[in-house]
Amino acid sequence: MLIATWNVNSVKQRLAHLQKFLTEAKPDVLCLQEIKCVDEAFPRLEVEELGYNVAVHGQKGFNGVAILSRLPLADVTPRLPGDDEDAQSRYLEAVVSIPGGGAVRVASIYLPNGNPIGTEKFSYKLAWMERLERHAAGLLALEEPTVLAGDFNVIPEFRDVSDPESWANDALFQPESRAAWRRILGLGYTDALRACDDRSGLYTFWDYQAGAWQKNKGIRIDHLLLSPQAADRLQGVEIHKRMRALDKPSDHVPVSVALDIPAA
């Protein structure tokens, strides 16, 4: 089974890119972030024509997450528990049913950016991560293959950023953000990419400014976290870097994980 995540940075603007990725990479499940549209405006028909079921938790002009799956989706749950007043569309969870029995639980996550630090935006980011930590702990108690996938807006380590000094005052690289990330890992989740490759220079995001893509000045902020039951089935991870070279691309690229789980 191939499960991917991608901050598409406007699904309507990148529809052709999305269709290209679904056709060529053929993920069984794709978690999208920053779709930037309400549920009704999502290009559902175009995606369904490629053989995917669609679950959407959108928001007009901002945020928004979706899960696309070749397999049936059940127990589709929008919103991260823990704050009933949080109106931002940043979390969508579903159970992917496997033919012949079994299932994989998948979440599409668009974690708050948190900038500028020292403001309520950074406080919201840290509070959101605390909510995610509590919910992620509860999911582990289910003892099932679980994949938390998305744009976490956290640079975990120095090897995940090309120029650490330029990010020193950014919310993505603050000690508090990185500590919250480590607490989630400490629950028992596995960073899929780091389980397969410990090299530096593996990035998933390149800013549009100052030739960041051409100079490979990137950061790694798009992650797939695996429960022990999923990590035991891990076969490999791929960063689909070629998608950044397309015309008018997202500033993020897809990342996929292969699990030893029959998808058909």
Task: Establish if 247 belongs to a structural domain.
Answer: yes
Catalytic residue, chosen from 52, 91, 110, 203, is: 110
User: Taking residues 169-195, what's their average pLDDT?
Assistant: 98
* 113 annotated as belonging to a binding site for a ligand: no
Q: Supply angle C-alpha 60, 97, 263, rounded to 5.
A: 105
Annotation says 151 is catalytic: yes
**Per annotation, catalytic residue among 17, 57, 223, 252:** 252
| Domain assignment present for 195 | yes
Domain count, the chain: 1
The verdict on whether residue 260 carries a ligand-binding annotation is: no
pLDDT band (50, 70, 90) for residue 153: very high
DSSP assignment letter at 160 = G
17 lies in some domain = yes
Q: What is the DSSP letter of 232?
A: T
- The verdict on whether residue 216 carries a ligand-binding annotation is no
**Closest residue by Cα to residue 223 from 170, 181, 186:** 181
- How confident is residue 210, by pLDDT bands cut at 50, 70 and 90? confident
The pLDDT score that the predictor gives to residue 19 is 98
Structural domain including 41 reads: 2-259
Buried b (16+ CB within 10 A) or exposed e, 94-120: bbbbbeeeebbbbbbbbbbbbbebeee
Q: Are 22 and 49 in contact (CB under 8 A)?
A: no
Strands 53-57 and 65-69, sheet pairing: antiparallel
pLDDT-above-90 percentage for the chain: 96
197 in a labelled binding site: no
**Residue 34 marked as a ligand binder:** yes
Domain presence at residue 264: no
255-259 β-sheet, strand order: 53-57, 65-69, 29-33, 2-7, 255-259, 234-239
Residue 57 known to be catalytic: no
57 annotated as ligand-binding: no
The domain that holds 125 is classified in CATH as 3.60.10.10
CB atoms under 10 Å from CB of 62, counted, come to: 14
In-domain check, residue 53: yes
Considering the domain boundaries, does residue 127 fall inside one?
Answer: yes
Q: Which of the following is catalytic: 151, 160, 170, 191? A: 151
In this structure, what token pair is assigned to residue 167?
A: 């990010």
Q: What is the pLDDT of residues 80-137, one digit of tens each?
A: 999 999 999 999 999 999 988 889 999 999 999 999 999 999 999 999 999 999 999 9
> Considering the chain, what percentage of its residues have pLDDT values greater than 70?
100
The stretches of the chain forming alpha helices (DSSP H) are 15-25, 44-48, 120-140, 175-186, 192-196, 228-231
